[in-house]
Each structure stands twice: as C-alpha cells, then as structure tokens.
Amino acid sequence: MRVSIYTLVSAALSAGPVSAFPAHLAETFSKLRSASDIRSEPNGIPSCPFAKRQLPGVDPPFDAETQYVSNTGDHAFVAPSSNDQRGPCPGLNAMANHGYLPHNGVASIQEFITGTMEAFGMGIDLATFLAIYGAVLDGDLTSYSIGGPVPSLLKLGGLLGEPQGLSGSHNKYEGDASPVHGDFGNNLPQVSQFTALYELGQANSDSIDLELLTQFRVQRFSDSISQNPYFFSAPFSGLIVSNAAYTFIYRFMANKTAENPQGILNGEILKSFYAVTGEFPDFTITPGHEHFPDNWYKRNPLDYYTIPYFNLDALAMQLEHPQFLSVGGNTGKVNSFVGVDPAALTDGVFNAPNLLEGNNAFCFGVQGALQMAPDILKGLFGDITEALVLLSSAVGNATQGLSCPQLTNFDEGQFAQFPGYTGLKPDGEYKA
C-alpha cells in the first residue's frame, strides 16, 4: 500500500514533551491522520517503523569469513597515548585503537572511507559523504582529527588556524542530546546516560534494538531541553547526526550471526564499544579506550548501511516522534525551547508536512548545512572557494537520486534568538 505524503503519527505528539515540539509543527501534525497503516514507500523497503532487510522478503546473508572483524594481530587493541586523538565517536575511537584508522586519530578522507567500510560495513555513499564533510568542516580539506585540534597535515596557507577536529565541531557536526555523551560544555561520556541505556536493554531481555533506542532518544531529547539552557538543534547536527547517533548504535555495533543476520546488541557488546568496565550499576567509563568485542561480525558486504537505508531508519523515528524534526533551541533558560518554521528558513522550499515526504528531512539537513557553510568556513579558511566546491560536490553526490527539492536560500537570521547558536565561537567554545 502506498502511503500519503501527509500520513504521520499524530499520536506521537503526546509521547514527547509538549514544550519540546514547535507549535507550528504540532498544529500541522495534529490535523493529519494516524499512520497505523504505514507499510512502505521510501526506496521500496518494507516494514516501517524500521527496515529489517535491504531487499523485500530477503534477510541479509551471513558470511563469517567476510564479516569477521579481527581484534588480534595487526588489529590488536593498543591504548591511545597522551599524544593520540580520541573524541566523541565511539566507533571511530575503536577503529583507531585497533588500527582500522591511523592510531594517532588523524586520518585522510580515503582512510575514513576504507576504514568505516572494512570495520563496520558502512555504505560507500554514506562513508564518502561523512568523510568529506568532516575534512571540510573539521579538518584541512584532506584529513581531520577524530578528537581535538591538530596542525594541518598539508600546512595549507588558506587555513586561519589549526583544524579543530570532531571534538571542536559543535553545531557543525556533533550536537546536543547524544545517547551517552553530555551536551556541549560537558560532552564527555556520562556514566548516568550509559547506565540508563544499559538498564533499558536489560529490561528487554538483554537486547538493544532500534525501538528501544528510539524510546531512549525521546528521553535524551527531553533531558537536554529541561537541563541545558543553551540546547540547540541545527539542521545538520539535529536532523542528520542526531539520527545517526542512535541508529548507528544498533546498525553498526550489533553482532551479526547466521541465526541473527540483523545482529544482536547486548549489554556486554555495548560496554566494549563504549569503554565501560564494572557491573551494573557500578560502571566506569575510560574515554578513548573503546574496543571491538571478541568474535564480532560486521554487516555483510551485500547489506552495507547506505544513505537510503539510513534515511528510512531516520524517517521511522520521525514518524513516531515528530519532535525529532525540530530545528531550534532553548533561549537561555531551561524548558524555553522555540522551534523555527522550516518554511521561514528555506523560503518555503521545505515546510512542516513535506519534511516527512520521501527523503526530504535528509535533503533539508544536508542542503541546510551547505547553505550555512560559507559563514562557518569564513572562520576557518582565508579563501573558502576550495572548501565550498568540495562540500557542494559531496552534498550533490549524497543527494543524487533522492529527488530533493532544491534549496537556494537559507535565513540564518532565524537563529539569532538562540544563544546555543549565536554564542558559539569558531573554536568550539561559548563566548563569555
């Protein structure tokens, strides 16, 4: 059955905090009928709310030889030294600790693409886009750090300073309401957040899946609004990276087997990928020491996690909880969330109803990031031409075939009311 582009989960409005959901979106969605009959539309992949297979009626195959990810020999765990970079992404940290990325935590675009495919089974389209985006916004156009600032590998004359890396990419790449990391200013892994996620899995027969992660995301979104006066959700970090932060946990960390080709993610595997030791509830996190579990298998090469697959997972979360489409933030006090109408941001190209049409939420996020890039890049490069060309090409390739409406105007002035946006310096700190 085809689904109307206006079919939404109106009941979801009562599932999240009312103050967290922009009024203009709430009014729109409340008028639309329930989505209880959703089956499929985007990319032909069935079984909303979450895709369980890449091809209709076919489970992904399992091949132990091609899917095994070694954590011995050349890929044995080596703890980072004080000079090595580790940052907010547990998967990238584990890759560096096991030699799937350079151990120092600074990698080229090609190394990120090859490494994420080899270690996790990320689709080349998604891997390429994320690698280029990181190199432009957080690096020197050729490479970037998975942690903090490092000198440019090429000593590019166009750089105004040291590339800040992922740890300095707030609102450009990383964002608030992370599963395990705290919000900006306290963005180390938080034992309390890990413990809450772990406990949910234990109550679910020691199994963490996308339904559970969605439930946890609702709580984290609410927590950030009620605890962080500077909470801000940007188009890219909010609609793209935040989705990835939750879907990647299951899609990449779950251990694939012949009996469970989709993967099983239990508490011990989660502890390994988040560098957690101890027994519930007395956990300790050692940031930067994330590692691959023993006898662990990634996604099958025929089932790599591509942009269309990611978009369907993100859409499933957004259909169930439309507050995840919110762009906006708190205005300097907790529980003061104000949403920005996407139509006002985009001169009407995107609006509340069409964000849930096809791939539009992804299109809005990446094209919005491209429109915002010139102002960001002016603080990083003396001449932004090369950076814009590279980023424009990456966005074009990532959205090719997705039938994206073309965004040509973006009114960043809509964000002037949010100190979590206006008060952020280029080096990733809030202005005094």
Q: What's the pTM value of the predicted model, to 2 decimals?
A: 0.88
Burial class of residue 2, CB neighbours in 10 A (0-12, 13-18, 19+): exposed
Locate 268 and state its tokens: 């011990």
Say which residue the tokens 């997972």 belong to: 313
Q: What does the pLDDT look like over 285-333, one tens digit per residue?
A: 999 999 999 999 999 999 999 999 999 999 999 989 999 999 999 999 9
Question: Domains in the chain, start-ordered, CATH in brackets?
Answer: 10-175+233-243+302-422 (1.10.489)
How much is the pLDDT for 306? 95
How large a percentage of the chain has pLDDT more than 70?
83
What is the pLDDT averaged over residues 247-259? 97
Spatial separation of the C-alpha atoms in residues 209 and 427, rounded to whole Å: 36
> Identity (one letter) of the amino acid at 418?
F
Q: How far apart are CA 79 and CA 84, in angstroms?
A: 9
Question: Cβ(59)–Cβ(376) under 8 Å?
Answer: no
DSSP states of 138-170 as a string?
HBSSSEEESSS----SS--TTBSS----GGG-B
**Cα 373 to the chain's mean position, in Å?**
18
Task: Please answer whether residues 397 and 129 qualify as being in contact, where contact means their C-beta atoms are separated by less than 8 angstroms.
Answer: yes
Q: Is 30 helix (H, G, I), strand (E, B) or coil?
A: helix
CA 230 – CA 209 distance, rounded (Å): 30
Q: Give the Å distances, CA to CA, from 265 to 52, 197, 219, 251.
A: 15, 12, 20, 9
CA 180, CA 354: separation in Å to the nearest integer?
Answer: 31
Distance CA 426, CA 161 (A): 10
Residue 427 has pLDDT above 80, yes or no: no
Query: Comparing 72-76, 126-130, 146-150, 151-155, which segment has the lowest mean pLDDT?
Result: 151-155
What is the token pair recorded at 89? Answer: 């992404």
**DSSP symbols for 316-341:** HHHHH-GGGG--EE--SSTT--EE--
Q: Which of 171, 247, 223, 313 is nearest to 20 (CA)?
A: 223
Region 107-122: mean pLDDT is: 98
Q: What is the pLDDT of residue 57?
A: 55
Top-confidence residue, 237 or 58: 237
* Residue closest to 163 by CA, chosen among 391, 426, 421: 426
Q: Which amino acid is at 61?
A: P
pLDDT at 386: 94
Three-state DSSP class for residue 105: coil
Q: How far apart are CA 180 and CA 96, in angstroms?
A: 20
> Which of 142-146, 155-159, 164-168, 199-203 shows the lowest per-residue confidence on average (mean pLDDT)?
155-159
Query: What's the start-to-end Cα distance of the chain, in Å?
Result: 55
